[in-house]
Amino acid sequence: MDSMLIEIDHVAIAVRDLEAAVTWYQDVFGASVEHREDVESDGVAEALLRVADSYIQLLTPTRDDSPVAKYLEKKGEGLHHVAYRVANCADALNAVKASGGQVIDEVPRPGSRGTTVAFVHPKGSFGTLIELVQVAS
């Protein structure tokens, strides 16, 4: 069968100081911010820097009970999740469930940029937090 994974949508990196991280990517690599968003439901602020058809997503918590705040506390700054672009988030999520994988989102939900997303637990995916991203058509 054809792969459900169309593209790396983004690689997410958790940082303590979003402005400092954005400035570093701009100054060192000449990268530019294509999108910024506060995702209230996840308690994060994000900046997306384009790399070809994908993004680096710099993430910082906006409140103490944010999962990203807990992640920074436990593991420090660094790689947080890998997001794969899929044609249909529900189909990809069901494929994970059918394989016996653990999911964080039982059903797809709204993500940033008008996307539809679902997270897969790292326990069932060889240690990587995976986000399935369906881009609005």
CB distance 15 to 77 below 8 Å: yes
Q: Whole-angstrom Cα distance, residue 86 to residue 124? A: 19
131 touching Co ion, by CB under 5 A: yes
CB count, 10 Å around CB of 118? 24
Instruction: Between 4 and 11, name the residue whose CB sits nearer to Co ion.
Output: 11
42 touching Co ion, by CB under 5 A: no
Place of tokens 């326990």: 123
Among 22, 48, 83, 86, binds Co ion (CB under 5 A): 83
Instruction: Between 19 and 83, name the residue whose CB sits nearer to Co ion.
Output: 83
Instruction: Between 44 and 137, name the residue whose CB sits nearer to Co ion.
Output: 44
- Tokens encoding 3: 């792969």
Contacts with Co ion by CB under 5 A lie at: 12, 83, 131
